[in-house]
Amino acid sequence: MARVVLAMSGGVDSSVAAHLLLAQGHEVIGVFMRHGEATATACSAPPPADLSRAADQAPAATRPPQISLPIVKSRSESKQGCCSASDAEDARKVADSMSIPFYAIDFQREFSQIIDYFIGEYTAARTPNPCVMCNNWIKFGRLFDYADSVGAEFVATGHYARLEPTRDASGNPSPIPALCRGVDDGKDQSYVLFGIDAALLPRMLLPVGDYFKPQIRDIARQMNLRVADKKDSQEICFVPNGDHAAFIRGKRGESATAGEIVTSDGKVVGQHDGLERFTIGQRKGLGVALCEPRFVVRLEHDTHRVVLGTREELGRRDLTAGRSNWLVPGFDAAEPQAPRRCLAKIRYNSPPAAATVEALPERRLRVVFDQPQFAVAPGQAVVCYDGDRVLGGGWIE
């Protein structure tokens, strides 16, 4: 079939993806992307040029000499991320059990951009989504560069999403497939893939998107994979303890965005030590006690104020977004496009809501919801769907 570079995180999804690709007859090259903090990983690999030669020289059914992956206990084993040394060891052993080449590649320099973005967004009173940026810049960015260097036709991951054939306006098969929701609604990850360049879709493979998570674990158990019952990743990989506020303060310094906590009518009710502790819609951990439930309804970059209000004050009927990316023809055309009905998600875990989307000049878009949506957070992505198909999206302003 084809040579495929598979991103292997050491989790059950990418591990079973390797099995599924092999069963389809593909030649699989497993790649562990070292892209976390230096204290969280201890992986090493030759430069891509050396990896290219090694992969070309290795028969499909044999694995070249192992790359050293020393184990470093650098974080709590109860937390699951995607780039620790133990994750790398899990990925290596899975690859070894399937006799596929495996390499750990240092993307730490590129990943520093993700960390800078993460800190910059919180400092600017926005709520970042580093997983989307990682997919855009690294997993389906730099990893394609590596795939080209080893002569691989495809890049594959363990995301729960699907690629479906499409037809053009004349009914002829289109070279660009549709990116669609995974069949497992509870695990669907199409939201975090909206920013991928549409031109790359024909070179992507998403083997687990047609399965439910329990099926994936059953396959892993049948294969006696060590990761069959491994917990899913829950934390941001470079903040494995979940305390992103402490991580940001450690990088940026204390009290850079400290300020007042106020109610929506301007009453000062407390002080806070940094905007990074808050996001729109937050109710718990506000640091103040009020007589009635209050939510974060606004974060002010210029004054560093955290504004609290009622749930009703959270509701928004429309939003605008910038830096849009479209995966269907038409929206990115120079001519204005008619508004289009869609389902829109304002966060990864939010339910899709009925809405109308309109493409605007300068890569912007406007979404008008049929019903008010709560906790619309600047910095998060809004992703629009036509049924299961991802139309595209942008970054909420």
Give me the active site residues, please: 134, 237
Give buried/exposed letters for 28-61 (b at 16+ CB in 10 A, else e): bbbbbbbbbbeebbbbebeebeebbebbeebeee
154 close to 176: Cβ distance less than 8 angstroms: no
Comparing CA positions, the residue from 329, 332, 263, 328 lying closest to residue 293 is: 263
Read off the amino acid at residue 346: I
135-139 long-range contacts (CB < 8 A, ≥24 apart) are: 135/192, 135/193, 135/195, 135/196, 136/195, 136/196, 137/110, 137/113, 138/33, 138/35, 138/107, 138/110, 138/111, 138/114, 139/7, 139/33
Comparing CA positions, the residue from 333, 341, 332, 345 lying closest to residue 377 is: 345
- Tell how strand 102-106 and strand 27-34 pair up: parallel
Comparing CA positions, the residue from 361, 364, 372, 371 lying closest to residue 392 is: 364
Q: Which residues contact 39 (CB under 8 A, 6 or more apart)?
A: 74
